[in-house]
Amino acid sequence: MTLANTPPHWSALTASAARIEATPSATLLGDDERNKDLRHTLAGCHFDFSRQRVDGQILRELLELTRVTDLAGKRDAMLAGEKINASEGREVLHTALRDGAPNAPALMREQVEQTRSRLYACAEAIRGGSWRGYSNRAIKDVVHIGIGGSHLGPELLVKALAHVPQSQVAPNIHFVANVDAQDISHALDGLNPETTLFIVVSKSFGTLETQVNAASARSWFLERTGRTDAIAQHFIGVTTNLQAAAEFGFAAENLFPLWDWVGGRFSLWSAVGLPILLQIGAQAFSQLLAGAQTADEHFASAEAAQNIPILAALLATWNTTALGCNSLAVLSYDQRLALLPDFLQQLEMESNGKSVDTNGQQLDYRTMQILWGGCGTNGQHAYHQLLHQGTSRFAADLIMVANDPWERQEHHQWLLANGIAQGQALAIGHRPTDPGEQHKYVGGQHPSTTVVLDELGPHQLGCLLAICEHKVFCQGVLWNINSFDQWGVELGKKLALPIFAQLEGQDSSAQDPATRRLIEYLSINRS
């Protein structure tokens, strides 16, 4: 269903939505020509959209939306470096980080190449043992401090690609994001400051959580060494605010730039990805970038009907705005992708979780779904019960890997069988004919996309994540929202500042009564 007063190009789809609601998924899946049109492969990544609840007519209507919204023109504007992030007056050129923006300014491309060269040299020094701490010992442990876009992408890829064969032993990489002291305490437990290196990532070098954790890391290091002069050997910074980082104690040669034209949630391809580079090495990291560039080139040139990120965006937007699917379950049928839902939560919900359009007008139609998920087959013994027999409207993405590097093929066959079966059950359901077994009724009719990677390698994963990025942009265009700001996030940060001061003893009377009572309760009951 649609909400009242939706834009004309969405209101026109109301009749189609009503018609498809009455069409069983089994009928749609019985049309093999339709199914063929909804399967696409790129760089070892296979996208099967055939279980989406669309027919040929709806596909044509959705493709017409790309013309109505000038999706191609806005795509070209982004790739050319126009300032499409209007609320912040910035370009959006994360594609330039993987050479996927050939029309980007020459200076920008030169900066990217210079930084990448320095980054590769830094990683080689750490991995090869020539980077030495203050006591002339090689680095064994790396603690990465960041949050949000500075954290989620690197942690996902470090863990997803840990199986990639290495010519050198990678350091142990620990991630710290939460301002909760338990997070950094756990990461530092048992580490030797002589062989520990910290990477602090903060675009502004003003992110509260990262500042607090970086200060604690610095204190931990100094308490154990007493060597202020050794900070430079044990701390690397990635930021746009080079001056603030220098005041912290970072050596200039150990600082890597970020740029305003790269949003945090699109930044894993930059110096933010140093932990990934440390884990997999320069050759594999280059393959990651190459996979993303393949997706960039496909997005820039393929016709809409064959353009994977455009199709993914059209179908996801259709599910949300026309069919009323308020939730998207990302189900990873590969343990190495356990963190993929976490990464996509930020990428998609921080980008498109908006209720104001690019003209500053309040929206009265649905935009971004609530994205969540987990690993199969674990979820099948938990929340899949609700998916199959609950009352909520949702869509699902199922992610599988055709081949795995282990020698337990029976495990993998069962994993794949379960992933395929779940997609089938979500679409077809089960309708018992015996009146005594109606408790076994499973409605089905839930739209889903199945993504199969030939293998979980850096090239395939780079391609997949870049497609997800482009899907986000396309959805923003279709909904007429700016996918590249995050003012809702900024509000929470702003409100926390006076509350912190009030928890420290300042007057809280200016707060609303509910907030004031919470502050008073915590102040009384903290030891």
Is 159 noted as a catalytic residue in this protein?
Answer: no
Tokens at 360, concatenated:
């500053």
**HSE-CB for 327 with a 13 A CA cutoff:** 12
Burial 181-194 (b: 16+ CB within 10 A, else e): eebbeebbeebebb
Question: Could you give the strand order of the β-sheet that contains 448-453, starting from the edge strand earlier in sequence?
Answer: 39-42, 45-48, 448-453, 394-401, 327-333, 370-375
Comparing C-alpha atoms, which of 133, 142, 198 is closest to residue 172?
142
239 strand-pairing partners:
257
Q: Which residue from 257, 264, 260, 263 is spatially nearest to 242, judged by alpha carbons?
A: 257
Q: Which one is catalytic: 33, 36, 223, 381?
A: 381
The CA distance from 25 to 191, in Å, is 55
User: Three-state SS for 403?
Assistant: coil
Single out the residue of 271, 264, 265 nearest to residue 250, CA to CA. Answer: 271
The catalytically annotated residue of 350, 459, 469, 470 is 350
Q: Is 527 exposed, middle or buried (0-12, 13-18, 19+ CB in 10 A)?
A: exposed
3-state SS, residue 328: strand
For the chain, give me the number of helices (H) and strands (E)?
Answer: 21, 11
381 is catalytic: yes
| Catalytic site includes residue 174 | no
What letter does residue 159 receive in the DSSP assignment?
H
Measured at the CA of 522, the angle between CA 520 and CA 525, to 5 degrees, comes to: 110
Q: Residues 6 or more apart from 298 whose CB is under 8 A from it?
A: 42, 307, 308, 309
Number of Cβ within a 10 Å radius of residue 388: 18
Which residue among the candidates 21, 247, 493, 520 is catalytic per the annotation? Answer: 493
Q: How many C-beta atoms lie closer than 10 Å to residue 486's C-beta?
A: 22
Place of tokens 């003003």: 206
Q: Which phi and psi (to 5°) does residue 406 adopt?
A: -90, 170
The residues annotated as belonging to the active site are 350, 381, 493
